[in-house]
Amino acid sequence: MMTEQAKVAAIQINSTADVESNLQQVEALLADAQQQQVKLALIPEMFATLDGKQYPAIAQNTEMYQRIASWGKTYNMWVIAGAYPQTSPDGDPRVRSACLVFDDQANEVARYDKIHLFDVDVADAQGSYRESDHFSPGDQVVVVDTPAGKVGLAICYDLRFPQLFMQMRAQGAEIFTLPAAFTHKTGEAHWQSLLRARAIEQQCYVIAANQCGWHDENRQTWGHSQIIDPWGTVLSELAEQPGLAVAAIDTEKQQQMRQNMPVFQHQRL
């Protein structure tokens, strides 16, 4: 007997310093996703803005938070608000890069705080990225039940740490979501290879929503948001312009694949 397949979407935008314009970009694509009967939509990392100077004010802005929370109810879907500045729960003056999950009644049902911070030198126009200047790291692995399946939450640079994805799979994850602002330089080299590796290793779907284009005179992101199945097949992929990648999640097919190749039963180390 066939089970109902839930449609999911990865939203790709080009965030600038204009927060209102960025939120309107997201809302237009959520409306598009609603027309396609999407049940779960993922928004990119720092969709409100990539301008770090605005993060503290955004973290304190309850009106903006409520607007984002309302999207699930407005568009009749679950919304994973990629990464959004939130106050650090431990009193650190820096904010957290928080992935917020809202159901279709505007309730926050999960929050994941980015564990791995991107403090890296890259041979691009910006040259140096230091997330720890703005953010304090989280330390909790989060898996949440959604209408599409059990979702393990990760953000951008987390993609390079397979042990996180192993822990999420051990906690029952069937889908990984990865909101990102992956740089153009590193994205061109590694983005899809890493996404497909995580999908294949853990036999999970991957929904990856990336930023795209130039955000200022120095910062360019790779785009290529996509949805990948547990076999590593790319089901839907965008290029480098804003848009929507949509695909269906078939957990019945996934379970059959896991039974046919029971790699987690074969682990010896």
**Cα separation, 244 vs 205, whole angstroms:** 17
- The residues that bridge with 172 in the sheet, in sequence order, are none
The CA distance from 14 to 8, in Å, is 20
Sign, Cα dihedral of 27, 28, 34, 39? negative
Q: Tell me how crowded residue 37 is: count the other CB atoms within 10 A of its CB.
A: 11
Which position among 39, 99, 114, 174 bears the catalytic label? 114
Closest to 244 (Cα-Cα) out of 33, 22, 37: 33
Active-site annotation holder among 156, 174, 212, 240: 156
Check 45, 131, 174, 240 and give the catalytic one: 45
45 is annotated as an active-site residue: yes
Q: Which residue has the tokens 């926050």?
A: 108
Q: Is 217 a catalytic residue?
A: no
Residues carrying an active site annotation = 45, 114, 156
